Structure 1
Amino acid sequence: MDTLIGHIDRALDMTGAIVAAVDDDLLAAPTPCSDWDVRAVLNHTVGGMHTFAAALSGNDPRGARGDDWLGGDPQGAYAAAAEVDRAAWRRPDVPTATVNLGLGPTPGPAAAMIHLTEVVVHGVDIALAIDRPDLADDALCAQMLETMRGMGGIDVYRTPGIYDAEVSIPDDAPPHRKLLAYTGRKW
């Protein structure tokens, strides 16, 4: 579990660097997450971070996942959410916890994997939308893709609003593009 929490930290750092590169004029840019612009993907990510942190600590997330979590300071909102998120995943009871998510009661390690996937994939969504693929952590993306495939894949989650069908991509594509293609992003 410590390794998984370390990967969450790494994903938060990667996505934090990407978010720091988002100028206000890029918030309306389209993303590989088809119906969402950068602001919507970032808002979803920040809301998810608060939701997971609240579920881990047994607190109220102080809002619904679809609320405006960014206000007038998207970078500040992300940084604050990342701090709360890191603290929640460091709780000593996380490895044995049952986390109540929208999917129902979920064991702590499975919840951590879901959260890691959200932060990595949406971070890369934003990186490509702002034309900063250089900020994607390709080693982390490759590991994420290998883990997803090693767990039997994500076909059970290929439904509208979660993951679309895998998209064909050249074998020599960078790992961040392969990860997005695997999750059905057309970009």
Structure 2
Amino acid sequence: MADRVPLDFEPPVRQIRALLLGVDDRDLAAPTPCPGWPVAALLDHLMGLSVAFTMAARKRAGAPGTDGPPPQPSADHLSPQWRSRLPVLLADLSIAWRDPGAWTGTAQAGGVTLPATAMGAVAMNELIMHGWDLARATEQDYAADPRALEVLIEFLGQSPADGTPGLFGPRIPVDTEEELLPRALGLAGRDPSWRPPRRRPIPSRAATAD
């Protein structure tokens, strides 16, 4: 079924679900490549976008996340059940875009209506970029599907170089000889070299004893 649609959402969904297993409660306050968003806010955003793009694929205009701008991601809004709920929402997203009908006509998400093929590319971009954000913030390995990256590089290359508010930041120059993931990150306004600040180790009692 997946080879009958332009993009297969299963690889990025599977990877994010694996990354979630490596998120410790202590990571929730850690910074991410998204300015001002700690990991908890990023997870809140992933939950919201999963619902919105699932509804977009199913052509559910007026459903949550489709007919208006999404709320600002917030650590305070993150569901206490995110560990069990987010993997289910991601699986629903992958299944929804597996339907060839999802890619026909138009689709609506966040109050924006686009050709369904463009909306699918935006959804894929969100998953890959935020999957990378989560991996970097929690210091986990990340690899993206090369076929999806090739589509994203072509798609992102058509966006304005100074960015699209709410979607992409201003482009960050990356050598065109670089691998696919850094090139896609740069086109989406991400700095491929971003690393979290080094966490200060908690001194042992013995080390702090007089």
Alpha-carbon distance in 1 for matches of 2:183, 2:142: 15
- Choose which of 123, 126, 130 in structure 1 pairs with 2:134: 126
- Choose which of 162, 165, 168 in structure 2 pairs with 1:163: 168
How far is 1:180 from its partner?
2.5
Partner AA of 1:45 in structure 2: L
- Choose which of 136, 149, 153 in structure 1 pairs with 2:143: 136
How far is 1:103 from its partner?
5.3
Consecutive unaligned residues of structure 2, counting only runs of 5 or more, are 195-210
Please name the residue that 1:87 is paired with.
95
Which of 1 and 2 has higher RCO (CA within 8 Å, sep 6+)? Answer: 1
Please name the residue that 2:27 is paired with.
26
Partner AA of 2:168 in structure 1: Y
Partner AA of 1:32 in structure 2: P
How far is 1:117 from its partner?
0.4
| Residues 139 and 87 of structure 1, relative CA distance in 2, 3 Å threshold | closer
Consecutive unaligned residues of structure 1, counting only runs of 5 or more, are none
Partner AA of 1:137 in structure 2: A
Alpha-carbon distance in 1 for matches of 2:6, 2:40: 27
Instruction: Give the SS at the match of 2:6.
Output: helix
Alpha-carbon distance in 1 for matches of 2:44, 2:147: 22
Q: What TM-score, normalized by structure 2, do the two folds share?
A: 0.72
Q: Does 1:96 align with 2:104?
A: yes
8 Å Cα contact 2:57-2:97 kept in structure 1? yes
Higher helix share: 1
Q: What TM-score, normalized by structure 1, do the two folds share?
A: 0.79
Residues 19-51 of structure 1 show CA distances to partners (whole Å, capped at 9, x for unaligned) of 221111111111111121111122112211101
Instruction: Give the SS at the match of 2:108.
Output: strand
Please name the residue that 1:113 is paired with.
121
Please name the residue that 2:6 is paired with.
4
Alpha-carbon distance in 1 for matches of 2:115, 2:166: 23
8 Å Cα contact 1:30-1:36 kept in structure 2? yes
Give the aligned length: 183
Indicate the RMSD between aligned Cα atoms, in angstroms: 3.0
8 Å Cα contact 2:52-2:110 kept in structure 1? no
Alpha-carbon distance in 1 for matches of 2:151, 2:137: 20
Q: Work out the percentage of aligned pairs sharing the same amino acid.
A: 26
| Residues 173 and 113 of structure 1, relative CA distance in 2, 3 Å threshold | same
Please name the residue that 1:36 is paired with.
37
Alpha-carbon distance in 1 for matches of 2:118, 2:184: 19
Residues 112-153 of structure 1 show CA distances to partners (whole Å, capped at 9, x for unaligned) of 111000000010011111111x2332636743553335xx43
Residues 35-79 of structure 1 show CA distances to partners (whole Å, capped at 9, x for unaligned) of 211111221122111011123331723898437774113232221
Please name the residue that 1:183 is paired with.
188
Alpha-carbon distance in 2 for matches of 1:100, 1:62: 9
Instruction: Give the SS at the match of 1:30.
Output: coil
